[in-house]
Amino acid sequence: MAGDKTNNVPPRSAFKTFCVSGMGTALEFYDFVIYGTAAALVFPQVFFPEMDRLTATLIAFGAFGAGFFARPVGGVVFGHFGDKFGRQKVLVTTLLLMGLSTLLIGCLPSYSAIGIAAPILLVLLRLIQGLAAGGEWGGAALFGIEVAPAGHRGLWGSFTSMGIGVGGILGSGIFAAVSTVAGDDLAGFAWRIPFWLGGLLVLVGLFARLRNSSKEGKPTKETSPIPLLEALRRRPKEMLLCTGIAFGYITIAYIGSTFFLSYATQIGYGSTQALMFDLMLSITIVMSAPFFAHLSDKLGRRRVMIFGAVIMALGLFAFFPLVDMKSLPMSLFAYAVVGLLMGATQGPIPAFLGEQFPREMRYSGISASYQVGAALGGGTASSAATAILMATNHNPLGVSLYGAVALALVAVCSHFLKETSHLSMADIDEGKATSQALPKTAATQRARGIS
C-alpha cells in the first residue's frame, strides 16, 4: 500500500517503520523494564540494605518513580524540538541518553561501598532515563502513524506499543537467564549484566534511526514559536482528556510490570519464576496490541478503548485469586490473560492520542499530555499498590479496586475524546476532526482512501 500523500512522506514498508518506531522503543523500554525488575528483586539489598524487605521495596519503587517526574520535562523539551526541527533528530538523542544512563547504572557501586552516595546516584541516573523516555514515546508513536497507509494508522501506531512489549520480553528474558545462572548471587554482581547489555543494545536502535535521517516529512505549515502553548490554546480539552487516559493506562501498565513482579516474590515464588510471569505478560501484549489496534481502525478508537478498559478492570479481580493459588501453570495463565487484556487499550492509544492534534503541534501535544499522565500514574503506581497491600494486611482486593478506578478514568476520558479513525491525516491537520462519527459507508470509504 502507498502511504497517505497528505502526510508529505514517501511510502514506507511496515518492517522499516517498525525498526524505527518499534525496535527503537523496544530497546529504550528494555532499560525501563530491567530497572523495574531490579527495583523489585535486588535494589532493596544493594542500595537500601539497612531496611526491612517490604519497606526497602517501597523505597526502591519510590526511586523508580522519580524518573517518571522527569518525563513531563522530557516530553515538553523534546516535543518542542520534534515539532520545530523534525522527529528523527529527537529520537536519536533520546536513545543515546537512555543507553548511556543505563550503562552507568550497571557500573554504580553499592551502598556498602560508598554509602548514601549510591542511592543518590541511582536516582540521578533514573531522572536522566525519565527525561529521555519523556521524549521517546511521542516521537516513536508519531513516526508510525504519520507514515501509515490510509486506514492503518491504528495498526502502524501500535508498533510503538509492540516495541514496549518486545522491550519487556528482552528485559525479562535476559534478567531471567541471568537470575537462573547466578542463583542466590543475583544481588551480588550478576544484576549488572542486563544494564551493560542494555547500553550496547541501544546501538541497534540507533543504527535503524540514523538510516532514516533523510526520509522524514516536514510540517505542511509554519509551526508556532512554542507549539505546546498553541496546543494548550487550541486543544485544551484534548490535552486534559489525553492526560487522563495516560494516567489511567500507565497506572495499570506499571502495576502489571513492576508491582505484579514484587507481589509474586512476596507470596513465595522465586525470582526466576517471577521473571517467567513478566515474560509471559510481555509476550501476550505483543500479540494483542496490534490486534486491538487493527480493530480500532475498523470499529473506531473510542469503542475499542472503552471495551478494553472494562474487560481489564474485570480481569484484575480474577488475577490475584488465580496467582494466590500458588500453582505455576495457573499463575502463567493469569499473567497471559492480563497481557491479552492490557493490549486492548495499549494497542490503540498511540493513534488515538496522536490524532487529536494537527501536525504542527502534534509532538508537543501528545508528549506533554501523555507524560504528565505517566508521571502522575506510573510514578506512583507501584508505590501506591505496595502501600495499599501493607495497609490491608496483604489483601490484594484493595489493589484491584485501585486499578479498576484507574481504568474507569480511561473509559470516561476515551468517551469524551473525538473519534478520529475515519478521518484522513489531511483532515486532522486542517482541524476538521469532529466528535460525531461519519455514517458507516462514508467512514469505510475514507478509511480505504476513497474520495
Mean pLDDT computed over 119-146: 88
Q: Looking at residue 442, what is its pLDDT?
A: 41
Mean pLDDT computed over 154-171: 88
Query: 168-181 pLDDT, tens per residue?
Result: 888 878 888 888 88
Weakest-pLDDT range from 130-139, 231-240, 397-406: 130-139
CB pairs under 8 A, 24+ apart, for 104-111? Answer: 105/35, 105/195, 106/192, 106/193, 106/194, 106/195, 106/196, 106/198, 106/199, 107/192, 107/196, 110/46, 110/47, 111/46, 111/47, 111/48, 111/49, 111/50
Q: How far apart are CA 49 and CA 390, in angstroms?
A: 20
Which pLDDT band, with edges at 50, 70 and 90, does 365 fall under?
very high
DSSP for 189-258?
A: IITHHHHHHHHHHHHHHHHHHHTTTT-----SSPPPSSHHHHHHHH-HHHHHHHHHHHHHHHHHHHIIII
Query: Which stretch, 19-28, 82-91, 192-201, 335-344, has highest mean pLDDT?
Result: 335-344
Query: CA-CA-CA-CA torsion for 171, 88, 133, 303, nearest 10 degrees?
Result: -90
Taking 60 as the threshold, does the pLDDT of residue 260 lie above it?
Answer: yes
Domain region containing 430: 5-447
Which pLDDT band, with edges at 50, 70 and 90, does 437 fall under?
very low
- For the chain, the domain total comes to 1
Which pLDDT band, with edges at 50, 70 and 90, does 445 fall under?
very low
Q: How far apart are CA 59 and CA 35, in angstroms?
A: 14
Weakest-pLDDT range from 17-26, 281-290, 387-396: 17-26
Taking 80 as the threshold, does the pLDDT of residue 435 lie above it?
Answer: no
Q: Looking at residue 451, what is its pLDDT?
A: 29
- Residue 447 or 159, more confident: 159
Q: Looking at residue 275, what is its pLDDT?
A: 78
**Which runs of consecutive H residues, i.e. helices, occur in 22-152?**
24-41, 43-47, 53-66, 71-85, 87-105, 111-114, 117-146
Mean pLDDT computed over 98-121: 88
Taking 90 as the threshold, does the pLDDT of residue 316 lie above it?
Answer: yes
- Residue 287 or 45, more confident: 287
Q: Looking at residue 181, what is its pLDDT?
A: 86
Report in angstroms the alpha-carbon separations of 79 from 17, 162, 207, 402: 20, 22, 22, 31
Q: Looking at residue 438, what is its pLDDT?
A: 40
Please, how many CA atoms are within 13 Å of residue 433, restricted to the half-sphere of its CB?
20
8 Å CB contact between 316 and 400 = yes
Q: Look up the CATH number of the domain holding residue 339.
A: 1.20.1250.20
